[in-house]
Each structure stands twice: as C-alpha cells, then as structure tokens.
Amino acid sequence: MTDTKLLLRALAGETLPTPPVWLMRQAGRYLPEYRATREQAGSFLDLCYNPELAIEVTLQPIRRFGFDAAILFADILLVPQALGCDLKFVQGEGPRLSTITDEAGVDGLAPVEGIHDTLSPVYETVKGLSEALPKETTLIGFAGAPWTVATYMVAGRGTPSQEPARRMIAERPDAFGRLIERVTEATIAYLEKQVEAGAEVVKIFDSWAGSLNWSDYERYCIAPNRQIVEALRARWPHLPIIGFPRGAGTGYEAFAEATGVSAVALDSSVNPAWAAERLQPKLCVQGNLDPLAMVIGGDFLVNETRKIVDGFSGGPFIFNLGHGITPDADPKNVELLLNTIRG
C-alpha cells in the first residue's frame, strides 16, 4: 500500500506536492463525539482498555476530517501500569502513579515478559483498526520514550521540570539507569506487538527530552531511542519510525543522526528554516504548527499554516502540530486547516 498512502511515501523520503497531514491528539476532547464515547466508557483508562470504544474514538477524526493517518488511542503510561505501577487519572489533575525511587522499587517491577497480559486489549485495538481504516489511511502505533515514561514513574505525576527524575540521576544513578533499561525493554516488547497486530508506522514520544542537560540527553534520550529503533529494525528493516524529542532544540540534529529514525516530529519552538536546512535533506520532518492556532483560527491559522507548508516544501514533510491539539480547539478550525493545506 506504500504507493497509495501519502504518509508512507513521505516517510520513505518522497517530496509530495501536498503534504500528508494528521494531528497529535486528533482523537480527543475537542470533538463532541469523543466526549460522548468517553462518558460511555466510564473513565479514561476504561476507554484505553476497551477495544471496541478505543477503535471508535480513533476512527472519529478520520470519518470527520479524512486525515492521512490514524494513531492508536492509548496512553504512554499503560507500560508502567503493565510493569506493576498503580495508575489512575484524577479528573482535572492528570495521572497519578505509585513511585519508583530506588533499587528496591526497580526490583519490584514485574518482568517484561508479563506485560502483554495487561496490554493485550491494546493489541486488539490495533488489529481492529488495521481492518477498519480506509485503505488510504496509515495506522500509527506509539509508545512513550523511556526517559519521559521514567519521569512519571519517579515523580508519580507530571512535573514542570522533571526535577524528581533529574535528582534521581544525580543521587541514585545506578537505580535510574536500571529503570531506564527496564522501561526500554518493555517499550520494545510493546511496540513489537503493535507492529505484529498491524501498525504500519510507530512513533516514540519523548515529551520531556528538553529538560535534560546535554550529557544526560545523550544517555537517557538518544541512547534508549536508538536501542528501540535498532531492535524494531532487526525484525522489520523498513519499518517507518517517527521520533519526537520535544524541546531538544538544536539537539534534534544529533537525535536524528544517532537514532536512525525515519522522521523527526518538531515542536513549535523549532525554526522551520533551520530544520529545512539541517534536517530535511537527511530525513522526513513532521510539524510544527503551534496548537494555539487551532484555537484562534481565522487568518492567523491560515497564515501560520501556509508559512509551515511553504517552509518545508523542498523535501519530505508531514504536516502536524508542534504538540497535541487542545480541548478548546474548534473542530471548524481543523476543517480550515485542511482546506488551507489541500487547497
């Protein structure tokens, strides 16, 4: 299907006259149909683990907007839950996990071989989506990168600067290193099962990469991402993989070169001119509209969209946001975005 799927063509290095487009968190609270399905599920985690409803919310933005890709509906914290961490989502506050702060905590995690019992509904969702999506729509699987997932496991929640994890690096480096190793191993196993179930592309979200100093960035962001890419490519040499070291700045270039990803997803702070010069000659780039534009709409959205499309017109490119679409975005602005890109 590579010749008919625009996203796969871009990931293979083809420069297309009209870029493929999808949006991070395109299945989400800005859509009334999503809110209705989530209420039907009872809770966010129940929605993640209900294949029928997870398939439904993944398909909703495809039906409404005709994006070029659908991304599996799940959450990056399902992996630590499968490793034995307690996980819940508090309304209005976000995730809460039991914490891992020392060697004993790492030793108490479940073996990687057992995570599939917990995660099997996710694989069911991938299989169902691979059968239900339109033939022109690419299916993206995903996981959180080890550094980002570990920050939640150490702190028990999201934090502004990931200080608890950075303190653990300084005070208990051996324990933190072992935690990263365990999460990396689990992430590889998780993504392998997604590909086996029908995912055509995988994306690795390192949402907190920008909080690391350079040496720690190389050790805890680049190295684990490279290990994941190498493990997946050992089985599927041509598997397209998108990496997202959000906030990495000029470190995007080292990430792209060292990991071997097929594409890098750029956050909104990255200058398209810099990325077009330094990154795009080597690989596909994805991004990087400010999600606020989806709230503002109008001429602002149109102008910002055209700048990005024009800026990346000289090489392989996938249009997306610099981060996820927010709940206060207007679905009509998504229609305006797509009309602007596709003419």
Q: Is 29 a catalytic residue?
A: yes
Q: Is 152 a catalytic residue?
A: yes
Token pair belonging to 331: 């679905």
The residues, any chain, with a CB within 8 Å of residue 310's CB and separated by 6 or more, are: none
Geometric angle at alpha carbon 283, from 281 and 285, rounded to 5°? 100
Q: Are 269 and 275 in contact, with CB atoms under 8 Å apart?
A: no
Rounded Cα gap, residues 319 and 164, in angstroms:
34
Identify the active-site residue in 34, 49, 123, 152: 152
Identify the active-site residue in 35, 38, 64, 167: 38
Identify the active-site residue in 35, 64, 75, 226: 75
Rounded Cα gap, residues 61 and 67, in angstroms:
7
Q: How many CA atoms lie within 13 A of 52 on its CB side?
A: 3
Identify the active-site residue in 29, 178, 226, 278: 29
Q: Is 25 a catalytic residue?
A: yes
The DSSP secondary structure of 82-123, one letter per residue, reads HTT--EEEETTTEEEE----SHHHHHTSPPGGGHHHHHHHHH
Identify the active-site residue in 9, 25, 172, 246: 25
Q: Which residues are catalytic?
A: 25, 29, 38, 75, 152
